Amino acid sequence: MQRREKTTPPLIPKVAATRISRYLRYLEELQARGATTTSSRELGAALGVTAAQVRKDLGYFGQFGYPGLGYKISNLIPEIQRILGTDRSWNVALVGIGNLGTALFRYKGFAAHGFRIVCLFDSNPRLIGRSVEGLVVHPVQAVGELVRSKKIELAILSVPQTAAQDVAQSLVEAGIKGIFNFAPVLLSLPEDVAYVSIDLAVELEQLAFLVCHRERELAKVKSPFE
Amino acid sequence: MQRREKTTPPLIPKVAATRISRYLRYLEELQARGATTTSSRELGAALGVTAAQVRKDLGYFGQFGYPGLGYKISNLIPEIQRILGTDRSWNVALVGIGNLGTALFRYKGFAAHGFRIVCLFDSNPRLIGRSVEGLVVHPVQAVGELVRSKKIELAILSVPQTAAQDVAQSLVEAGIKGIFNFAPVLLSLPEDVAYVSIDLAVELEQLAFLVCHRERELAKVKSPFE
DNA sequence: TAGATTGTTAATCGATTAACAATC
DNA sequence: TAGATTGTTAATCGATTAACAATC
């Protein structure tokens, strides 16, 4: 458990970054509707958080608003993109071209936010060499070479649980900077590799849990954005 | 913002339920390896939380351990399943049979934990009537009737953003108890309907954010399970 | 018994909210 | 100017960790 000096600048809670991402989503929606300004009150109301929370979250990164006026949407959107690192595009590898992998590859939401899946990998000999919507599936062994040559920084891992740690290891050795993992396992990675993980079964269990405990009036079992 | 009397029993933080789910995942793994007992220390170490956290989390729901001995795996697994509501099976509707929906339908991890996708829905006339691995795709309009007749309690929503709120509305009217939403939008639902949501683009943005801020040594930007 | 580990209370730590001066 | 809304500090609230008596 890493200790940290008391003098370090304001630490940013991870949930703040998640909310910032959602503010961006809503700002894009507002802009599409033709709005030009908004306020912490409006943003908060739309996302189910307090206005103070919105201002605090943005405050971790700078001053983007105008007292009395609110925020200029055309100004705040690029600021948040810069904060999130989505003001540029990212090359992404997709490892594991099964049902989920294929669906993720076809998912339009990634490209819309600057994430380009530029390389596919699998270990199944029957898939290797095949072309999926214009991209060839490469053997996992080629990760090292291709990550470097294609300047890939992020990887999406949709491989079976049993393969996940080994593949992650190869990706790390190839110099990947972040891994988005769908395998139901906690990957052990070096500290300087970023890590986001989704376990679909865990999420569905959460839903069952919430249903079971709604009746028992489970109070603080309150999702962060409802 | 709902107020709550000071006398209410210990409120359960949402993250505690998430961790409990992960404890279960790890316990199943331990059992598969032939282990019969474990301890809060071992569980915590495996999942990157303190032993005190593990005991506290379990403590919200009861006393399952033996001082000096730890926890009996064969005993703790069913206890956690009962807590999560996965000690029985759940009938699930899948709405939106696109790439993601199809992948989710084929995903084995749900069935393995008692979630049975028993009905498929879509609004695309070209999909309606088609059979996907033995299940016929029904029109979204049939939700009301089928949710009741098939005793469906949960729904997975993998429809486009623009359709999500309307479909959710129909599901609620049909008496659904919980919705697992993949559309990038905050659904507005009655309080007694449980809600879990994943926005894949937001998750990938989190990864980009973490990568960008690793260097800037972003301290408390620490994911809950690393 | 001695050693280990639980369940739980108290202490610490961190995140959220309220409040308000600054300012457009 | 008066009204609105920011950025930020202080107060509150809640979650995590440490500590330890109870107990196997």
What are A50-98's pLDDT values in tens digits?
999 999 999 999 999 999 999 999 999 999 999 999 999 999 999 999 9
Which nucleotide in the DNA or RNA is closest to residue B222, CA to C1'?
Answer: C14
Strands (E), A5-134: 37-38, 71-72, 90-95, 115-122, 131-132
Q: Which residues pair with B132 in a beta bridge?
A: B135
CA-closest candidate to residue B87, choices B68, B50, B115? B115
| Cβ proximity of B199 and B184 under 8 Å | yes
| Residue range A3-16: mean pLDDT, rounded | 63
Contacts 24+ apart (CB under 8 A), B129-136: B132/B97, B132/B102, B132/B105, B133/B105, B133/B106, B135/B105
Q: What share of chain A is helix, strand, coil (3-state, %, to 5)?
A: 45, 15, 40
Q: Are strands B131-132 and B135-139 parallel, antiparallel or unpaired?
A: antiparallel
pLDDT at A217 over 90: no
Name the protein residue, with chain letter, whose CA is nearest the C1' of D19: B52
Q: What is the mean pLDDT of chain A?
A: 91
Position B10 scores a pLDDT of: 58
Which helix (H) or strand (E) is B91 found in, with range? strand B90-95
Position B222 scores a pLDDT of: 45
Dihedrals phi, psi of A19, to nearest 5 degrees: -65, -40
pLDDT band at A222 (very low <50, low <70, confident <90, very high): very low
Name the protein residue, with chain letter, whose CA is nearest the C1' of C17: A52
- Chain A contacts of B220, Cβ < 8 Å? 11-14
Which nucleotide in the DNA or RNA is closest to residue A69, CA to C1'?
Answer: D5
The burial of A214, by beta-carbon neighbours within 10 Å (0-12 exposed, 13-18 middle, 19 or more buried), is given as middle
Ranges of chain B whose pLDDT falls below 50: 1-8, 218-220, 222-226
Position A214 scores a pLDDT of: 79
Residue with tokens 């595009």: A89
Contacts (Cβ under 8 Å, ≥6 apart) of B179: A207, B154, B155, B157, B168, B171, B187, B189, B193, B194, B195, B196
| Residue range A12-31: mean pLDDT, rounded | 96
- Chain A contacts of B112, Cβ < 8 Å? 201
Position A7 scores a pLDDT of: 39
pLDDT band at A215 (very low <50, low <70, confident <90, very high): low
Position A192 scores a pLDDT of: 92
Cβ-based contacts (< 7 Å) between B 54-73 and strand D: 55-56, 66-69
- Sign of dihedral through CA atoms B139, B111, B21, A191? negative
Position B216 scores a pLDDT of: 59
What are A133-151's pLDDT values in tens digits?
999 999 999 999 999 999 9
- Note the strand D nucleotides within 7 A of protein beta carbons: 3-9, 14-19, 21-24
| Cβ proximity of B19 and B49 under 8 Å | yes
What are B122-149's pLDDT values in tens digits?
999 999 999 999 999 999 999 999 999 9
pTM of the predicted structure, to 2 decimals: 0.91
- Sign of dihedral through CA atoms B42, B48, B51, B53? negative
CA-closest candidate to residue A194, choices B59, B4, B203? B203
| Cβ proximity of B92 and A85 under 8 Å | no
CA of A62 to C1' of C12 (A): 29
Dihedrals phi, psi of B34, to nearest 5 degrees: 95, 5
Q: Which residues pair with B72 in a beta bridge?
A: B37
Residue with tokens 């351990």: B65
| Cβ proximity of A192 and B214 under 8 Å | yes
Position A95 scores a pLDDT of: 98
| Cβ proximity of A189 and A172 under 8 Å | yes
In B33-91, which residue ranges form alpha helices assigned H by DSSP?
40-47, 51-59, 73-84
Q: Please give the Cα distance from A167 to A152 (Å, whole number).
A: 15
CA-closest candidate to residue B22, choices B85, B84, B75? B84
CB contact under 8 A, B177 and A109: no
HSE, CB side, 13 Å, CA atoms: give it for residue A157.
Answer: 31
Alpha-carbon Rg for chain A, nearest whole angstrom, is 20
The answer to whether the C-beta of B69 is closer than 7 A to strand C is: yes
Strands (E), B123-199: 131-132, 135-139, 154-157, 178-181, 194-197
- Chain B contacts of A180, Cβ < 8 Å? 203-204, 207
CA-closest candidate to residue A92, choices A139, A140, A153? A153
- Chain B contacts of A219, Cβ < 8 Å? 4, 8, 11-12
The answer to whether the C-beta of B56 is closer than 7 A to strand C is: yes
pLDDT at A1 over 50: no
* CA separation, residue A83 to residues A30, A76, B76, B127, B223 (Å): 19, 10, 43, 41, 18
pLDDT at A5 over 80: no
Q: Please give the Cα distance from B131 to A202 (Å, whole number).
A: 28
Position B5 scores a pLDDT of: 37
Identity of the residue in B107, B201, B218 whose CB atom sits nearest the CB atom of A99: B107
Nearest CA in chain B to A109: B201
| Cβ proximity of B161 and B184 under 8 Å | yes
